[in-house]
Amino acid sequence: MRFPIRLTSFLILLLGCAASQAQTDVLRGYPGKPMRMIIPFAAGGGNDVVGRVVAGKLAQTFGQPVIAENRPGNNGFIGAKLAVDAAPDGYTILMGPSGPISISPAIFEKMPYSPLKDLAPVTMIGSYPLILVVSSSLPARNVAELVQYAKARPTQVNYGSTAATFQLTSELFNLKTGTHFEHIPYKSSSDFTTAAMTGEITIAFADPPPAIGLIKSGKIRGLAVTSATRHPFWPDVPTMAEAGVPDMVVTIFMGLFLPAATPRPIVQRLRDEVAKGIAEPDARERLNALGLALSASQPDQFAKFIAEDIARWTAVARAANIKGE
């Protein structure tokens, strides 16, 4: 049956009004109680610091407490699964970094959740490279000397890791340099960066937040960054390619997620408020000071990026024959 043009226009308008009313109904009274942000790693690491900055901004915007909860363990799976299993009402937010979202699926055959099916991407907050660090007391002053040092002590060298992000990067370094740094698990990147400082471990591929102060104070030495170009914080530190390890560009993201069945109006509202919050001068300054290049992607853009990132890391893991422990 064909409707007259005027009737068709009226029906379209009516449907639009109904959709708008439905969105208003979903958002009415939200948020009306305290919210929680699950951070799947221990306090002190980059994810924790960024998560608490964003939680503080959301609390200001919504007029409700946003309680940051550190739930570390099992490569970030414990915290992520808590978020997946939470009520899809917008009151439980996951601070999700690359590790448990797009890198773990590349190396673990079994996971307690599917990042693509069980989580609703809200927005990417930002991204950063990793920096290869060693204790300032280690005799190796560049990557070539580090490789030589490690090959002379194949059973005595190791690296720290909290999740697939750091493990895969470190194992990729092993593969490309012919070294055999052994994996030592930690609860946070702050913990293993400190362990590198004390000499408890030989190397760490650290995220910028816990490394910035230690490098500045001279307690650890940065040997190379995993970005395609030099990092503005450390202009004297070469890229991995410049240091003699080509094809090792690693960029890590941080983003927010909600349980998959969360109504889209809530997802969009949260995204929009986060975008406003991290654009404010005080938040932007704090996050940039952590080495984070800020972003505020739309939910669909973020979902597409994650799917592509999983595919990219899966190809890397297969080529390097790297599997999660």
In this predicted model, what pLDDT tens digit does every residue of 209-247 receive, in sequence order?
Answer: 889 999 999 999 999 999 999 998 899 999 999 999 998
Question: What per-residue confidence (pLDDT) applies to 131?
Answer: 97
Strands 35-39 and 66-70: parallel
* Axis-axis angle for helices 46-62, 281-288 (nearest 10): 170
Q: Could you give the 3-state DSSP secondary structure of residue 232? A: coil
Residue 216 CB contacts under 8 Å (≥ 6 apart), including other chains: none
Question: What per-residue confidence (pLDDT) applies to 197?
Answer: 97
Q: How far apart are the C-alpha atoms of 226 and 172, rounded to whole Å?
A: 11
Q: Residue 160 forms beta bridges with which residues?
A: 184
Q: What is the mean pLDDT of the chain?
A: 90
Model confidence at 31: pLDDT above 90: yes
Question: What per-residue confidence (pLDDT) applies to 86?
Answer: 98
Helical H segments across 126-280, by residue range = 143-151, 164-177, 189-198, 208-216, 264-279
Topology of domain 131-225, per CATH?
Answer: D-Maltodextrin-Binding Protein; domain 2 (3.40.190)
**DSSP state at residue 76:** G
Strands 251-259 and 204-206: unpaired
Model confidence at 151: pLDDT above 90: yes
Q: How far apart are the C-alpha atoms of 205 and 103, rounded to whole Å?
A: 15
Q: Could you give the 3-state DSSP secondary structure of residue 23? A: helix
What's the Cα-to-Cα distance from 39 to each of 63, 92, 256, rounded to whole Å?
21, 11, 10
Q: Is residue 266 within 8 Å of residue 274, measured between CB atoms?
A: no
**Which residue is associated with the tokens 């190379």?**
224
- For 22-44, give the DSSP string: HHHHHHTT-S-S-EEEEESS-TT
Domain at 31-127+253-320, CATH class: alpha beta
Q: Could you give the 3-state DSSP secondary structure of residue 291? A: coil
List the single range of 31-35, 147-151, 174-178, 317-321 with lowest mean pLDDT.
317-321
Q: How far apart are the C-alpha atoms of 5 and 195, rounded to whole Å?
A: 71
Q: Mean of the pLDDT values across residues 146-170?
A: 93
Structure confidence by residue, pLDDT tens digits, 104-119: 999 888 999 999 999 9
Question: What per-residue confidence (pLDDT) applies to 19?
Answer: 44
Model confidence at 21: pLDDT above 90: no
Structure confidence by residue, pLDDT tens digits, 271-313: 999 999 999 999 999 999 888 889 899 999 999 999 999 998 8
Model confidence at 10: pLDDT above 80: no
Q: Which two tokens stand for residue 8?
A: 């068709």
- The distance from CA 221 to its chain's CA centroid, rounded to whole angstroms, is 23
Model confidence at 14: pLDDT above 70: no
pTM of the model: 0.79
Q: Percentage of the chain surpassing pLDDT 90?
A: 71
Residue 69 — φ and ψ, nearest 5°? -120, 115
**Which residue is associated with the tokens 């009402």?**
89
Identical topology for domains 31-127+253-320 and 131-225: yes
Q: Could you give the 3-state DSSP secondary structure of residue 120? A: strand
The strand ranges marked E within the chain are 35-39, 66-70, 92-97, 119-129, 131-135, 158-161, 182-185, 204-206, 220-225, 251-259, 293-294
Model confidence at 188: pLDDT above 90: no
**Which residue is associated with the tokens 């030589």?**
148
Question: What per-residue confidence (pLDDT) applies to 47?
Answer: 87
Diameter of the chain by CA atoms? 83
Q: Which two tokens stand for residue 257?
A: 């997620």
CB atoms within 10 A of CB 11: 11
Q: How far apart are the C-alpha atoms of 43 and 187, rounded to whole Å?
A: 9
* Axis-axis angle for helices 189-198, 46-62 (nearest 10): 140
Domain-by-domain residue ranges, the chain?
A: 31-127+253-320, 131-225
Identify the band that residue 18 occupies on the pLDDT scale cut at 50, 70 and 90.
Answer: very low
Q: Is residue 113 within 8 Å of residue 154, measured between CB atoms?
A: no
Model confidence at 253: pLDDT above 70: yes
